[in-house]
Amino acid sequence: MRRLLLLLCLLPALLGATETVPTPAVPAPTPAAPAVAGGCAPATLPAHFNDARMLSESGKLLAGLPLDPQGPLATLAVRGSVAQHQRAFLDTWNRFNAERADPAMAWYDQELAELPWVDETIYYPFSGPDSLYPMLFFPRARNYLMAGLEPVGMLPDLNQLSETELSQGLGQLRHSLRAILAFSFFRTLDMQAELKHNRLPGVLPIITLFLHQRGYELRSVSTIVLEPNGQTCVVAPEDLAYRDTSRIPGVVVRFSRVGESEVRRMVYFQVDLSNEGLRKSPHYLTWVDALMPRVTYLKAASYLMHNPYFSTIRDFITRESEMVLQDDSGIPLKAFPAETWDWRLYGSYQQPIPLFANRAQPDLRTAYQRKDNRVALPFGIGYQHRRDTSNLQRFTRRPPAPAEPQAPAEAQPIVAPPAVTPDATPRPGG
């Protein structure tokens, strides 16, 4: 009941609702004023953030896909940088699809498609810009909630870039994606530095690219801040860098599958998920909780939640989730007691990679040694990115045990009330 009331209170502000997204009055963005008490200040987004055709063509270009010859970016199709980008990505995507994406989709059909909650809201903390894998494992979800330390960044009007700028931006983008496409994860330290300084900066260009590569098209983009009161306010992209620590910067990407009318949402917040970070920003988990995600996905999470100083986010996930899909770098096995959770183990587990050698889980290794517990994994994922060494675990909360019926209470004999005798005590005035 508490969650339902909270959701009803926050619903107009959740996910950058349309009430707070004014239609741009001019094509060029102008700085937004700081947030005002009790509401959102007016903000003007770049015109192309609400131009679905321009966003879709931008996504195609970034993903190395052919452009519409009659589209708003048609003149860029003849540029050498765009042709080079398309050639470079063609083999990369073909290899990725054959080795990882196609087997992962087949695995989803067999292992996840019929489960409850997988078509609702998916929570993906420590995601960085990885919109690719949640789309593979939960392709029908309505909302995706992502979080990481990487900046939101900017998706510029690509028509405004010179050939030198576009060539540099596309080359940096390919370089930033080399690890996730080859190994299935971003290298965190490299990524944070690269995404901050790239010509196409932040997570937004990568989210856009991955969505279009998976057959989706963008409808609109809103850069937002999550205020301490739980409200999401739209701000101009350049104003995200001037926030105070209590205002959490983020972005809402609205998209749909090509040929379909249903609009889905992907929300990313740049937020520190350590205990100290969440102590400073308690409204973040309140916001997530109000959206009631029943499924949490974790991949290449650096074993952070094995540490006591990430206990708040770990406890939140194990308390609020009905299902957790993760590799061994997520939450330790001991946080999923068998009397509360059903386990389904995929692939193989021996030990972490040398960088995380101190995060070995003997209890997880023992669980994997039981053949009846283990199911083959047809693709590589996570730090152990090869097919024969990768692992995933699916934990599903057991339904609560039915209450034991109580024996009916023994019938008590009916006792007649005592006879009432007149009160002989003298009364005043009697």
- Position 6 confidence tier, pLDDT thresholds 50, 70, 90: very low
Distance, in Å, from the CA atom of 177 to the CA atom of 185, rounded to the nearest integer, reads: 9
Check pLDDT > 70 for residue 283. yes
Please report the pLDDT score of residue 159 as a whole number: 96
**Residue 280 pLDDT level (bands cut at 50, 70, 90):** very high
Once rounded to an integer, what is the mean pLDDT over residues 398-415?
Answer: 69
Digit-coded pLDDT (tens) for 335-355 = 999 999 999 999 999 999 888
CA dist., res. 70 & res. 73, Å (int): 8
Tokens of 392: 């995933």
b/e sequence 282-295, b meaning 16+ C-beta within 10 Å: ebbbebbbbbbbbb
Prediction pTM value: 0.84
**What integer pLDDT is reported at residue 147 of this predicted model?**
97
> What is the pLDDT at residue 386?
81
Query: In angstroms, rounded to a whole number, what is the distance separating the alpha carbons of residues 57 and 74?
Result: 9
% of the chain beyond a pLDDT of 90: 64
Give the full edge-to-edge strand order of the sheet including 341-347: 232-234, 216-226, 248-257, 264-270, 143-148, 121-124, 295-298, 323-326, 391-397, 341-347, 374-375
Tokens of 130: 């990885």
Three-state SS for 374-430 is: EECCCCCCCCCCCCCCCEEEEEEECCCCCCCCCCCCCCCCCCCCCCCCCCCCCCCCC
CA 393 to CA 63: how far, in whole Å?
31
Q: Answer whether residue 14 shows pLDDT above 80.
A: no
Domain positions in the chain: 2-293, 323-401
Residue 187 corresponds to which tokens in the numbers above? Answer: 């290298």
Mean pLDDT computed over 299-314: 96
pLDDT attached to residue 188: 54
Average pLDDT over the chain, rounded to an integer: 84
pLDDT at 90: 86
- Assign 236 a pLDDT band (cuts: 50, 70, 90): very high
* Structure confidence at residue 18 (pLDDT): 36
Can you spell out the DSSP letters for 214-242? TTEEEEEEEEEEE-TTS-EEE--GGGGGG
